[in-house]
Amino acid sequence: MIQYFNDILETVKDSINSLDEKTFEVLIQHCTNCIKNGGKIVASGLGKNVPICEKFVGTMNSLGMDARFLHTNTAVHGDLGMVDKDDIVLLLSKSGNTSESVLLAKYLNERGTETWLLSFNTDCKLTSMLENQLILELENEGDPWDIVPNNSTTIYLLILQGLAMKISERLGITLDDFKINHPGGGIGAKLRGEVV
């Protein structure tokens, strides 16, 4: 079993190492400016990417930065109303060809929204539609059929959490800022100096 986990970690590491750091730096700076200017970061995904987006949004909110989750499927049924002109949308799509994602990208382009594609496929419909792209390599998903969203979601989580940390760092967010937003649980108790 340990070998299985080590293989997973190696695959994840290889994928992270394929990250274009210059592109990621641009994404960090654009997101930082977006928050500074009163906008918000909207993370959109389908299926198993939904909890990954929600985790990112939760981290951003706990640090006092405005972020929302937009379900790719329900976006075109009215939820697009949460996207303002000064926002940035992060669109997660492993294949970059999912019909719901393609449709959402079309409407976001029509609205002039800055949209970033996060994907593992360089040759897909969304790469031809969206100017801003963060494309990673992925050797396999770590399941017997190479189809279960496993490694891809783990990598998305790492990338988005890293993004949240870097934005908060650029904005000068402090532990006191975090403390105000997280009064409950073990973390809240620890921040109040209580023995947990």
Cβ atoms of 138 and 152 closer than 8 Å = yes
pTM of the model: 0.96
The answer to whether residues 134 and 23 touch, using CB atoms and an 8 Å cutoff, is: yes
Per DSSP bridges, beta strands 88-92 and 67-71 are unpaired
Q: Which two tokens stand for residue 59?
A: 């981290």
pLDDT score recorded for residue 181: 87
Give the CA dihedral 52, 54, 57, 59, nearest 10 degrees.
-70
Answer yes or no: CATH 3.40.50.10490 is held by domain 2-191. yes
What pLDDT score was predicted for residue 142? 95
In angstroms, the CA 129 to CA 2 distance is 41
Tens digit of each residue's pLDDT, the chain (196 residues): 999 999 999 999 999 999 999 999 999 999 999 999 999 999 999 999 999 999 999 999 999 999 999 999 999 999 999 999 999 999 999 999 999 999 999 999 999 999 999 999 999 999 999 999 999 999 999 999 999 999 999 999 999 999 999 999 999 999 888 988 889 999 888 888 887 6
- Describe the strand order of the beta sheet including 132-135 as a list of residue ranges: 67-71, 41-45, 88-92, 114-119, 132-135
